[in-house]
Structure 1
Amino acid sequence: MPGIRLVKVTKRYGDVTAIRNLSLEIGDGEYVCVLGPTGSGKTTLLKLIAGIVKPDSGEIYIDGRLVNNVPPQERNVAYVPQYYALFPHISVIDNVAFGPLSRGVSREEAYKVSMQMLEMTRLAWRANSFPHELSGGMQQRLALARGLASGAKILLLDEPLGALDARLRVELRYKLREMAKENNLTTIHVTHDQEEAMIVADRIIVLRNGEIQQEGPPSQIYNEPKNIFVAHFVGGANFFEGFVAETDQNGSWIQLRNGFVLRINEVFGSVGERVVVMVREEKATIIRGAKKREGINLLPGTIEWVSFLGDFVSYSIILDNGDRVNSKMPTIIGVGRFRVGERVYVHLRPEDLRIYPYPPHGLYKELEVI
């Protein structure tokens, strides 16, 4: 039985539909990350499950129980909002201990658990401080510690690591997943950080305009995006507009602008149909000289700029037909390999290309994330 189940849930705020006819199941102990742009319905989804807002239609079940009219305090849910909601008049450790004490846990055990949570979030040294004495990042960690100490079996996290510095964010995301798994917590973790979601999630859900665009394991979301928006929102991607020039039993030929042609290993659409071809940035290989690779899908162009990204180097190439391609490669092999202004070829393997119908409102409209 799933720990959480939503059936055709809709939530409106005036004329704005935040969640639209959404159905979803999350299993006991599953760690799910929800990705999506601002205004996609991520926070509203958490508030619906927590009981902070009620759906306009549809049903919400927790452990098989219909909870549409069950108050938040009776749902066995810990909700950690993006904007903390701390008790300002009591100390840091008292904030954390409030949850266990309200459940009837002994004072000794409540404060023992609370100190463990403060140690995990690296706040033990501020146990006797008050919330207003903490930085924004510390307050966020305090809210997280309080949620973890609550004893609830469902953990709802709204951007729990968003205000932290990069090093601490990396450290805590591993600890978060570890603790959730050790305690068999059903966790829904809202984040804008795609790397964070890829690392901690059993499953990723991509939301847009209150609707699920795709859900699945991180590798599937990245390697097999169902539509243009998911491909663009999760990971770096290059897009080419074109039309189907020819198909055979093994694939299709796609005509790009100004005479460029791509071969893909997918039979798609009908001749003349407008399409969009996508390739991940790390799959766009830069080479010198067309003879070094099979002649298919070799696109001539010029290096326009180079960016050093720490672990990776990113090259931007203007193709001779006017399209732009970004290519990302590990720093160990990419630094200094090509220079701005150099003439190169971009090689795209047919098996690395994905194809989509041309969107009704145009490619750039489809790529909008707000």
Structure 2
Amino acid sequence: MIRIRRGVAKEIISCRPGITELWVSVEGNREKAINYDNLTGPVKAGDEVLLNTTAVYKKLGTGGAHFVMGNLSQTDRDVPEEGHIMKLRYSPCQVKILAVEEPDSPYADVMQQVESLEGTPVIIGTLHSMIAPVSAAIKKLTNSAVRVAYLMTDGAALPISLSKMVRELKNKGLIDTTITCGHAFGGDLEAINIYTGLLACKAVAKADVIIVAMGPGIVGTGSRYGFTGVEQGEIINAINILGGKPIAIPRISFADNRERHCGLSHHTRTSLGKIALTKSTVVLPKLEPDKMALILKQLEDSTISQKHDVAIIDATPALEALQQYGIKVTTMGRSVEQDPEFFLAAGAAGVYFSHQPSAISRQL
């Protein structure tokens, strides 16, 4: 169910491509709202708007703002003729996109022909914040010689424009192309599913390395299988089906107060230990001996070390890369200084890739 209220736009806070943040007056309060310009059109002060207030009403961290469902002060809007694929299908918010694989696409012939990733490395994360240290490490250690594609899944936020991080990484040249697959939308390229999304990264974006992760706002319940990060295991299977080289980012933290996320998160233990049916390389950062011992035991107990290849690498260049590029990133509200192991674990995959022969050859 959706909690709907009328409000009035009072002030524009900020604008970036595809999204406007604003203050609205609703139920006698001044509160923050988000308008997706490509969905509901532009908004200005004084406009009467229809708001989805559910997340704020439920005090949820994810989506902690109202969302504009419609601008009642706006005239009719039309859409481009190209494309006929709908995302958010059969909902009031269904979005028409031009999918990279559909006949109207300029890349339709390319997508008809490509069937394999041909050994392309694919780095798979579970949280959106992981993409920053990975991409920063890759570009720093390869002197920007490799092309990086980011494939955003529909495991969390669906509009890629919500992510300030993606915009910053693209502006700084750390991500070259974005692709949104499933019901996620708004990337440089649109794909119908994870398979065509991966193939588009290879054949259309010409990526040397692919980073796959959901947008902001993972969904979780604390139960073994009740979280959207289970997609990591399924994506590993898809990569192997398509002939790629999966590199899995483990979720590691010693700053999270929740026992299930201490050391190697239960998310990783489930995704890699249970969901993934095929092999990946799991890259660990070098840590203090006691922390390393706990993680290695958790890998053993969850069968991850039996099912996957495990690499241990010095990941400090990833943190140096974040500092070099001036990237401020947090996870669950914690900074790099507050939760260094999390960001070392994410960045380790980027460092690992940069040491592979395929990455080194691109620099020569």
Query: Per the shorter chain, which TM-score range?
Result: under 0.3
Indicate the structure (1 or 2) with the bigger Cα radius of gyration. Answer: 1
TM norm structure 1: 0.25
